[in-house]
Structure 1
Amino acid sequence: MSEMPLTVRRSLEVMGLFFLGWTIVLAKGLLAPLLLAFFISIMLLPMHSYMRRYKLPEVLSIVLSILALVVVFGLIIWFFSFQIGNLISDFPVIQRNVTSHLNSLSAWIEGHSPFSTAEQMKFIQDQSSKMLSYAGTILSGAAGSVTSLFILLGLLPIYIFLLMFYKNLLLRFVFLWFPKGMHPEVEDTLRQVQVIVKSYLFGLLIQVSYMTVLLGGILLIIGIKHALLIGLIFAFLNLIPYVGALLGNIIGVLLTLASSDQLWPILAVLGTIAVVQFVDNNILMPRIVGSKVKINALATIVGVIIGGEIAGIAGMFLSLPVIAVFKVVFDMTDRFKQWGVLFGDERPEESPMRVAALRQAGALPDRKRPGLRKKSIPHGQDNKS
């Protein structure tokens, strides 16, 4: 391979990435739950190792780890169901508030446009009839989604158990792919992947907890109805980079509109979300996750969109850790180092068109003085676990 022309090598790399992406799309039904189980099993490894130190059998320690995970997610689902129950119990008030807001909106439109209330009602009826024509398709799709969700929830514990039980076999399989001289680099890469995945997923779990308590608590003190539900929904949607925060704001506004006949709670919800998100992005989350996952905004947005197209909501959640794992692997190989640069956020201050040294893989401009410095150690290399 080293004797091939550079253009041929680059063409083979692009073709390989294309066929890899094609394979992922074709096998998304199998790969999405496997990938989710892989990340969760890495997150459960510390608990499993702790129980193994006390001489618990392998199978028992794995089962107890999975049961702990089930208890945590069961509590989250119970809390969410409880909040949804409170929302449903307020349905008469919600219906009255929605009618009031729609009447106010209709009056505003009639005063600022040539459309009368009767024309607006006719337009709404026409659109409603069109929407009803798609109801069968939507319901069938929803039924398929629910079925797929139950299948995923049934297979996920099995996948997690098998991945944890056969982890040594899988690690041996990985090492056998490489010559003996590369085994230290492979070990270092695997340790970095483990550190990144654990820190990221544990960080997300902590983020969901404090975002729900912080946002929901502030809104509850202000007097916003269904404050904890707004905080919980926003906390989970905020896990989807960029897109999730926008959806969380929209859902928060809609829940507030439905629960109040005044407009000031909307401003309170939007302002509180903005403040909490600023504290989360600039103070709390950087300290929790640290600097191990450094992906630029462009790669993040593109990854979220591609992940959503491939595997829906689960793909959006998994996009960032998958990109981070790919970046670690690319950074550790000379042949694919340029792809690691493309995913990272180490943006040169000078243009490679003017500074010839920036066209190489090992240097970045120093912000404090002119000249160049060597690239720092890849993230997580000094924090092995």
Structure 2
Amino acid sequence: MKKEYPFYIKSSVILLGLVILVFILSVLRDILVPLAFSVLIAILLNPLEVRLERKLPKIVAIIISMLIALLVLAGIAYFLSSQISHFFDNIDAMKQKFTELLSNGQSWLEKTFGIATQKQTEMINEAANNSKAVIGQTLSGAIGVLSVVFLIPVYTFLIMLYKTLILNFLYEVFSTENQHKVGEILTETKSAIQSYIVGLLIETGIVAVMNSCALLILGVPNAILIGVIGAILNLLPYIGGIIAIALPVLMATVTFDGFTTQLLIIGAYALIQFIDNNLLVPKIVSSKVQINALISIVIVLLGAALWGIPGMFLSIPFVAVLKIIFDRVEGLKPWGKLLGDNIPTEHLGQLKRLTRRRKTAVSKTTG
């Protein structure tokens, strides 16, 4: 007879397991972050590598796939660097305008709220130091640089090379009766991640063009650079869109007098966000796994707390994989429903009450 443990014992064991897991993920951050990105890149490049492998040896196909991806990244980096060089053309004028606005803002705060200018300066310096700490944590030490230039390409190459070995291990580690479910999970995970990443790249390109066009029409300096940065920030669900609006508003504030341009920027970006959320995401980001807004925001914040900026980008694909697994395991299906975006019209309590009322009515009628 199978023994059932009380809820408080099971919940305590689960909580202890989660604490240990989070601790391990935090300690092994410098190893796991590049490995996680490498897995996503390997899955993304897999269709190209499979197509090339039909005519070329496996190692050659992998190398060519990675070189194509590297050339695309180099082209994007060159474009952004050329735009950044234009950003510094008017840096002196922007510094002067920013200093003037900062002085006016400090005077207003001192008159309105009684906060001394010196205290405001201390608060700004403290915030700047905290930001430096976050950036320093994200790009920590020599391993952080090494992971970009060495570990990620090596991991990606080896994952693609040993793909069959890894898949066979995942099949063999589970019992025979569960191998069908394992195959479904692996197939759907690969398809979901590929469609999710490709869809995000297309969506990001379209949003970058719309952002840049709107800012160019409004005459905002460095419109293309700010538009592209805003599109990249838009990859972070809900949070990135707010930061993306702040950048052009800040640029317009230090460049133009008055607030007309800022209001037009907010209106244009609100329209772009509406188009993105209601047209681009449903049509283009055709992921097989849809995560609801509440879980998306919470998991992005948890990813940031655990792994910094890389954790924010990795959190959504990670939860998408979890949802695929939860939906396939009988005891975890309620968790899969919790992560999804299908909102039921009635909760189970209401359904049970309605069922009881119907049974009561039927029994009275028959009685």
TM range (shorter): 0.7 to 0.9
Instruction: State how 1:59-78 maps to structure 2 within 5 Å.
Output: 59-78=59-78
2:81 equivalent in structure 1:
81
Mean Cα displacement is larger for which, 319-328 or 147-156? 147-156
Cα distance in 1, alignment partners of residues 287 and 173 from structure 2 = 30
**CA drift at 1:17:** 4.0
Q: Secondary structure at the residue paired with 1:90?
A: helix
1:382 equivalent in structure 2:
none
In the TM superposition, what whole-angstrom CA distance separates every residue of 1:351-379 from its partner, at most 9, and x where no partner exists? 22222399xxxxxxxxxxxxxxxxxxxxx
Quick one: structure 1 residues 262 and 214, their matched pair in 2 at CA, closer, same or farther if it must change by over 3 Å? same
Instruction: State how 1:258-337 maps to structure 2 within 5 Å.
Output: 258-290=254-286, 292-337=288-333
- Kindly indicate whether residue 23 of structure 2 is the aligned counterpart of residue 22 of structure 1: yes
Quick one: structure 1 residues 263 and 26, their matched pair in 2 at CA, closer, same or farther if it must change by over 3 Å? same
Q: Give the AA of the match of 1:41.
A: A
**CA drift at 1:319:** 0.6
1:5 equivalent in structure 2:
4
Mean Cα displacement is larger for which, 70-79 or 31-40? 70-79
Cα distance in 1, alignment partners of residues 127 and 174 from structure 2 = 58
Q: Give the AA of the match of 1:73.
A: L
Aligned length: 350
Match of 2:147 among 124, 147, 152: 152
Match of 1:165 among 161, 165, 172: 161
Task: Give the TM-score taking structure 1 as reference length.
Answer: 0.82
1:46 equivalent in structure 2:
47
Task: Give the TM-score taking structure 2 as reference length.
Answer: 0.86
Asked if 1 retains the 8 angstrom alpha-carbon contact of 2:233 and 2:240, the reply is yes
Higher-helix-fraction structure: 2
Quick one: structure 1 residues 347 and 307, their matched pair in 2 at CA, closer, same or farther if it must change by over 3 Å? same
Q: Give the AA of the match of 1:5.
A: E
Instruction: State how 1:203-242 maps to structure 2 within 5 Å.
Output: 203-242=199-238
Q: Which runs of no fewer than 5 residues in structure 2 stay unpaired?
A: 355-367
Asked if 2 retains the 8 angstrom alpha-carbon contact of 1:240 and 1:304, the reply is yes
2:244 equivalent in structure 1:
248
Q: Give the AA of the match of 2:269.
A: I
Cα distance in 2, alignment partners of residues 284 and 166 from structure 1 = 36
RMSD of the alignment, in Å? 2.9
Asked if 2 retains the 8 angstrom alpha-carbon contact of 1:97 and 1:261, the reply is no
In the TM superposition, what whole-angstrom CA distance separates every residue of 1:183-241 from its partner, at most 9, and x where no partner exists? 22211111100111001111111122111111101221232211111111111111111
Asked if 1 retains the 8 angstrom alpha-carbon contact of 2:196 and 2:287, the reply is no
Q: Give the AA of the match of 2:81.
A: S
Quick one: structure 1 residues 139 and 356, their matched pair in 2 at CA, closer, same or farther if it must change by over 3 Å? closer
Asked if 1 retains the 8 angstrom alpha-carbon contact of 2:137 and 2:308, the reply is no
**CA drift at 1:104:** 4.5
Q: Secondary structure at the residue paired with 2:349?
A: coil
Q: Give the AA of the match of 1:263.
A: F
Cα distance in 1, alignment partners of residues 143 and 259 from structure 2 = 40
In the TM superposition, what whole-angstrom CA distance separates every residue of 1:101-148 from its partner, at most 9, and x where no partner exists? 3355456557x63869xx64x5556557x659959x859937963644
Cα distance in 2, alignment partners of residues 319 and 114 from structure 1 = 40
Quick one: structure 1 residues 327 and 139, their matched pair in 2 at CA, closer, same or farther if it must change by over 3 Å? closer
